[in-house]
Structure 1
Amino acid sequence: MPKTRFPAAVFGHGQEPDARFTLANERTFLAWIRTSLALIAAGVALEALPLPIEPTLRLVSAFLFLALGVLAPAHAWVSWVRIERALRESNPLPGPGFSGILAAGVIVGGLLVGIGLLV
């Protein structure tokens, strides 16, 4: 009896790609998970530590980092699925998708913290 692999929406299509590409895709997925943990830690630290940052800007930036930290794993999963399926079907790799929004959010959060330190 053959084993089915999860998710079937990925592994039920195409042919098995070169393992190096699959493993690279998995490493990218795990890097996004680490990024998510760092964003959540930044949000918690902003609120938990007595930092000399204007309170409203500190709260907004903490919430922004927490929100990005929650969205990053969803982005990681969707990207992994899209890329793995493209590899299996020998299609061109998809674009980065949500990465630009996450990058913009980190920039905005960093600017809020910087301005909060100066105010």
Structure 2
Amino acid sequence: MKASGGIGWLFLALAIVLELSGTISMKMSEGFTKLWPSLLMFLFYGASFTFLNFALNYMDMSIAYAIWSGVGIVLISLVGVKLFNEQLPLTSMMWIVVIVIGVIGLNISSKVHQ
């Protein structure tokens, strides 16, 4: 694993927040029929990938991407329920838990093999 520091985790956290913002903007763009949410979606996703790229200088790609996508799935699921009144059936919540367990397991196993 690369020398990880707090800056890598900061870049990763920013990438996650920006990915979440991009996905919310995508929903709000209503299929590219609304200009500002559509433009913000591209801006947020571009910035998210940029910060994810910066994070890769400090941590392994497998860990950074798993955390980025896993945390993003959990957060956007919660936002969908709270902000957009979407339904999240129990089975969906169970699969999200499986994803979280997988991300944690990947992170633990990478530390064991160092």
Q: TM-score, normalised by structure 2?
A: 0.41
Q: TM-score, normalised by structure 1?
A: 0.39
- Relative contact order, higher structure (CA 8 A, sep 6+): 1
Decide which structure has the larger Cα Rg and report it.
1
Greater fraction helix? 2
